[in-house]
Structure 1
Amino acid sequence: MVGKERDRKAGPPNPADSQPLIKRLGWMVLIWTCSIVALGIVSYGLRLVMTAAGLKS
């Protein structure tokens, strides 16, 4: 009885738990890589703007 009550209170099952570990890690790596690429694009854009404004290092 106690186990059934605990299962009922736990809420709906998490669909991510049924996915293979390699697939979840792959998504994490993909999202991390995209964030690094986006950061590089933004920094390159800022560098272009600063160079156009006459600020060179």
Structure 2
Amino acid sequence: MQKTIYRVAPGVAEINGKKVPTSRKVTLTEAEALYDLAHGRIEVEAPAKPARRSRRKVAS
């Protein structure tokens, strides 16, 4: 099963029967997240943007 990172809403102390970490991010399977997603207690964490590649000038 693939796990996804979710951001926990403010004021929520427990997700899936466990305390929310100080980072406010939890990793859950789709089945584990269904209840809390439906109640607005968590939301999918946006994927990190890839770093931009710097363009170096080539000496000619």
Normalised by the length of structure 1, the TM-score is 0.28
Where relative contact order (Cα < 8 A, 6+ residues apart) is larger, the structure is 2
**Greater radius of gyration (CA):** 1
Normalised by the length of structure 2, the TM-score is 0.27
